Amino acid sequence: MKVRRLPLIAAALLLLVLIVSFKLVYADLDRLGGTPWTSKRGNDYARYLFKRLEGHPKLETVFQPLLQGWQSWLEPEVDLSQHPDHGRGARAESARSVRQQALAGRGRIDEELGRRLRPVDSPAALELALQEARPGDILELADGRYSITRSLWTRSAGTAEQPITLRAAHARAAVLVSETATLFEITEPYWHVEDLDIEGHCKPPGCEHALHVTGKASHFRAENNVISDFDSHVKVNGSKGLFPDHGHLTRNTLLNKGERVSARPANPVDIVAASHWVIDENIVRHFVHPDDRASSYGIFMKGGGSGGRIERNLVICAAQGVSSRGTRLGISFGGGLTGPSYCRDQLCRTEHENGLARANIVANCNDAGLDINHATSITLEGNVLINTAGINVRGTSPAARLIGNLGDGSVRTFANKDVSSDGLGRAPLDAQLKIRP
């Protein structure tokens, strides 16, 4: 008889905890600037209760399974595998083929005329080619797998007319297997990386960056690459007072095949203190970090840069396990804020200025799909949010503009008085997925 009553007793105790803690939860959310509980996503309460249980092993044993079941019910899985990629991400066709078709359509000559082609067929040959590269060189990898056990550095700069290009002979038929924390250290301007397949195969704590763009490496471009299993697939930051501005990530697929169990955060596109970057038509998928103390972001720009554009990307916070531990946000200007020494002005007066996120699709995030945190003059326009907590505007974010965004969740402002918003329009899931911004 006692055994039969245990589930009922546990359910009753859980209900009691929910009722008793309601006022505490409501007060905390109001203090943080949250919207009323009736329009609040229930997962906020679930996360709050998880934190209240921390440090109480006996209570965790009893209530965590029940809370996890409740959270799964609150955050249903949205299966995106049967839906098209909306034209985002890497393609089977090479980047140069796409560009040459566009050039031919405009009556222009082949863009590679007069450039030197340098074939590469081994890790040693790749390292040597990087060291000896000159403006206009094309370093072309033969088909095959390349095991890389130490970081590869750029040594020479390209120019606007003659960039240095590292590419595969055939789109994604050259697979770089990284066994080192950072695969490429891009420290010189005008480098392009195209058509590669890059896999992280590091021993714990795992691979950190596939592409680290830093210092004077301005005008970097990555196009049509598939990069998997890194903490921060693309990391951008300043060095010694120099900043890699005017970068471009386009039509890449950045993903993880499982959780990132690491002491480092999981942020696939991590841009700090750089200005005028364009992130467009990429797929960013599954950046799950099971540590409740850290938040993961699919794409963020922070650190005092300006003029960033994030457009027409597909960001899927969790491919499965939407309600798994950890906190995940889709796209952010400001992220988790930046230490002053890493900011462009050494003061962090603002995390980003004059940024734009437009026509992105963000899905399966257990926190906000779009986020502004202590950033200035940011516009969020025409984005579609599916199974997220909506939009956050945090800190002092003057002149934040929210225009024509569509999806579930709500718009939440935290200690912010200068937000122009038309709310978050609603539409059925099928209608959201059919939108092609």
Q: What Å distances lie between residue 117 and 153, 167, 169, CA to CA?
A: 19, 11, 11
Say if residues 335 and 267 touch (Cβ distance below 8 Å).
yes
Q: Running DSSP on this structure, what letter comes out for residue 184?
A: E
Q: In which band, very low, low, confident or very high, does the pLDDT at 101 lie, cut at 50, 70 and 90?
A: confident
Helix or strand or coil: residue 419? strand
Q: Running DSSP on this structure, what letter comes out for residue 263?
A: S
Say if residues 151 and 184 touch (Cβ distance below 8 Å).
yes
Predicted pLDDT at 73: 67
Predicted pLDDT at 34: 42
| Residue scoring higher pLDDT (294 or 403) | 403
Predicted pLDDT at 419: 81
Sign of the Cα pseudo-torsion (7, 8, 13, 17, in order): positive
This prediction has a pTM of 0.84
| Residue scoring higher pLDDT (108 or 279) | 279
Predicted pLDDT at 407: 87
Predicted pLDDT at 5: 60
Say if residues 377 and 358 touch (Cβ distance below 8 Å).
no
**Distance, CA of 172 to CA of 197 (rounded, Å):** 5
Predicted pLDDT at 149: 97
For the chain, what is the mean pLDDT? Answer: 85
Ranges assigned E (strand) in 107-190: 117-120, 138-141, 144-148, 152-153, 164-168, 174-178, 182-186
Q: In which band, very low, low, confident or very high, does the pLDDT at 79 lie, cut at 50, 70 and 90?
A: low
| Residue scoring higher pLDDT (72 or 229) | 229
Q: In which band, very low, low, confident or very high, does the pLDDT at 169 lie, cut at 50, 70 and 90?
A: very high
Question: Residue 235 pLDDT more than 80?
Answer: yes
Q: Kindly report which listed range (61-75, 120-134, 247-261) carries the lowest average pLDDT score.
A: 61-75
**Distance, CA of 129 to CA of 127 (rounded, Å):** 5
Question: Residue 400 pLDDT more than 80?
Answer: yes
Per CATH, domain 95-434 is 2.160.20.10: yes
Q: What are phi and psi of 402, to 5 degrees?
A: -115, 115
pLDDT in tens, 307-363: 999 999 999 999 887 777 888 999 999 999 999 999 999 999 999 999 999 999 999
Mean pLDDT across the stretch 173-181?
97
Mean pLDDT across the stretch 176-204?
97
Question: Residue 245 pLDDT more than 50?
Answer: yes
| Residue scoring higher pLDDT (263 or 428) | 263
pLDDT in tens, 139-153: 999 999 999 999 999
**Residues of 317-344 as b/e, b for ≥16 C-beta within 10 angstroms?**
bbbebbbbbbbbbbbbbbbbebeeeebb
pLDDT in tens, 251-281: 999 999 999 988 898 999 999 999 999 999 9
Domain boundaries, the chain: 2-74, 95-434
pLDDT in tens, 19-66: 555 545 444 444 434 443 333 455 666 666 766 777 778 777 877 777
The percentage of residues in the chain with a pLDDT greater than 70, rounded to a whole number, is 79
